Every structure is written in C-alpha cells, then in structure tokens.
Structure 1
Amino acid sequence: MLQLSLPRIRYMTKPSLMNKRYTLQIPDPCSQKWSEMTPQADGRHCDQCDKVIRDFTSYTDAQILSAIENEKVCGRFRPDQLNRTYKRHDESSKRWISVFATTLALASSSSAESQIITPTPTDTIHDSDTLKVVEVTNKNQIILRGNVSDKETGEKLFQVYITVENTEYKTASNFDGDFELAISEELVENGFTLKFTSYGYDGIKLIFAPNEYKGTFINMECTAQYMGLLGDVHIVEHKRWWEFWK
C-alpha cells in the first residue's frame, strides 16, 4: 500500500517558487498590538520581537510571492491571505500564456471586424467587474458621502463595500477611504440601513430612521479581524503526486 506523507513545512529562506503550490501559515502569532508598534517604511517595528513586521494586507498574490522568495518574512496578513493555495508559474509557462492570449485577442479582433454591435441602453443599473452602481434617474436624489478608516490604526480603507440593505444601491471606498452613493429621496423618507463590508473586517450596519438622515458626512471606523495575524511566516509546499517518488 502506498503511504503518502503530509506536506512538509519549511522556513521561507529564499525558496524557489516557480511552478509550485504553497500555503502561507503563521504558527506562532505575535501578541503585540499593531497600533503600539513603531511605523517603518514597509510596516512597523515590534519591540518584543525586535524586527520589522511587514504589512501585506493590501498586497496582491503576485506581490506577496515576489516578497517571500527573496527573504525570510515576518508579516501582517488578512485571514483570507493565509491557509490557502498560492501558485506561481515559471517564465516558459508565462510565455505560452502570453502567446495564447495574443492569438485569442487577434482572433477576437478579426471576428469583431465583421460584426456591428449595438449596445443595449440601460437606465438604472450599470455592471462593472467589481461592483454594481445604481444610477438614480429621479431628480429628487440624495448623495451619501463619507469616509471609512481602520478603528485601531486610523488608516484609510480602500475597497470597503457600502450597500443599502435590501436594495441594489452599492458603491465602494476609494484609496483615500472616501465614498459617495446616490439614493432616492424616498429611501430617506422611509428609513434605510447602510452596510459596510470588507475582507478582514467586521461587518457594520448603520440604521437611519425615517427622515433621520440630514446630509451629515458619515465617518465610519471598521474593526479589523486580523489583529493577531502577525508573526514569522512559514510556507507549506504542496507536493504533486509524481513528486512523492522522489
């Protein structure tokens, strides 16, 4: 009977990440509070550990992989960035993907030249890749304005989703934490609930009674769920089936 060993754990000391799959883990989280650490260029200095904790909470997967392949890392992560699979392909794989994408683009362009596409007009809802914005056509509209920040650090939060409960009204905060959302005057008259949601943060509901909203600027502070996810990062390599014979 074939016995399969568990994935082996090793420290991130310049590993080769090409064409492999990994999971990031923090087995021994740091107990220090992020807000009490000294700000540095790429993160904050922890006096207890006497090292700089790098802030990866706004990094993409590619940026994280680029950082961990060159040095041993102690970092701050969101829950959704840990204990999941990261993939990285070698340059030859990237070239094949690039060739395929270029070929597909040329084929699509050639096909499009022989067609005349008339867009279907819409009066209310516009779909984008990341969010749905409802355009209020009623002249009697109200513009909600506000800002979202981290309750502990005061940092402005990007891509916090703000929605009006039980409606299609939705927007998201920009890089400065600011947001604007146009809603109907009828909603204000009847009362409404604003929901604030973001990865790694507790959801918040802000309830307005009928006619309670008077155009006040909304300052919302969100509580992070990942305050304890600080520390030395370990990397778990997932071996493929043929590698168990090596």
Structure 2
Amino acid sequence: MRKIPLTVSIPHPCHQPWEDMTPDTRGRFCGSCQKSVIDFSVLSDSQLIELLSDTSQKYCGRFKKSQLDRLILPEQQATSLLPVAVLGVMLSAGLPAIASAADNHQLSATSDTTVSRTITGKVTEKDGTVVPGTSVFIKGMKTGTAVNEQGLYQLSVPSISPEQHMTLVFSFIGFDRVEVPLTGQQTVDVVLTPAVMGGCVVVAGGAFVRKATPWQRLKYKWKRLWHR
C-alpha cells in the first residue's frame, strides 16, 4: 500500500505535564482533558505515517515540536515497525489485550534450549505507579512476555551453561530501556524512568492529521533539490 505524506498540527495544546498524567491502558490519562494520551514522540516519520494514515480518526497524543506543522514523509530506509504495532493495538483495542495475549502465549524459546526456571517481578515508575504493557524479553532470544495490569510479569528462562550470559530487557514507549544481567535470581523488579526527548514536547488535547497537499509535496521536493 502506497504511503501518503501527512501533516500534523495541534491548534489547542494541553499544558498538563506528561509526568503528572496517570498511566492507563492507552498511554497516559490527562485529568485536564479527560482523555487518554498516546506517546507519538518516539516514532520516526515512516512510523507516524503507518499509524496515522487514517486521517478521519481523531488522535490525542504527545508529539515533539519538530514533528508538527511540517510535511511528514516516509523515509528511504525501512525502520522497525514494532512501536507502530504496539501503538496500533493500543489505539484500537486497549493495552490489556496485549498483556493478556503475551501472558497466555509467550514467545517460544530457541529450539536448542531447555526451560530451567521462571523469573517473576514487578515493573513500576519511581513513584510506584505500575507500567502495564512493558515488554520483557531475553536479549538475543525469542523468549518474552508483557507486564499485566497489576504491573506483574512471569517469564520462563532457558537454561544456560555457567560461561554463558543472559540479559533481561525491559522496554516501553516513552521510557528508557532497562537491561538487567541474569545471574540466577528468581525475582527481578524494575523501576522505569521517563525518556528525556530531544527538543520540546507538546501534549495535545487533540491532534489534526491531514494528507499533504500537492503544493506541500512540490515545495518539499524543491527544497530537497537545492539541499542535496
């Protein structure tokens, strides 16, 4: 499917800080706007186009200023669409579906390993707020799960020889990634820190997404011609 260039604008930004919003199943809940806010600030242009291609929908989200009021075009090189897939499900069905699916169908371990133990734990922010939907996986393997609504996870870990090393990775959009070396522990609790984004970030009560006009596309191509 051909990707159509877009523009995103926020006529009336919400001024409530992202950190003060309450985590919910779709991202964070703004008490001022009484709406769920999705974090789009971590996505590339290609990922934004992939997710916001339906311009008939209304979106409420967190964007970097550099993402607004300009032509958003698909990039030349393909980028990972994993964040897009996660956000897409969040927009359509809510995050609990992801967590429950991951709990019931953990990614299978590599074929040459044998399950030896189960690791459990809790994922929170510094103030104790749980972070449901956080991805938890073994680095370099196909073994993973997701944190449930209570902030808890359970992961079966393959056995390894003493000279081998395994790293448990915790990842969620809008937070810094955390890596924890596994040394035989049965419980791994993690505190996630909100990611510090480059540039100013705007949190909107509503974002307007429009398909780029022929004039905008022509203008962009003209600029590219002179800046090669």
User: TM-score scaled to structure 1, two decimals?
Assistant: 0.46
Larger Rg: 1
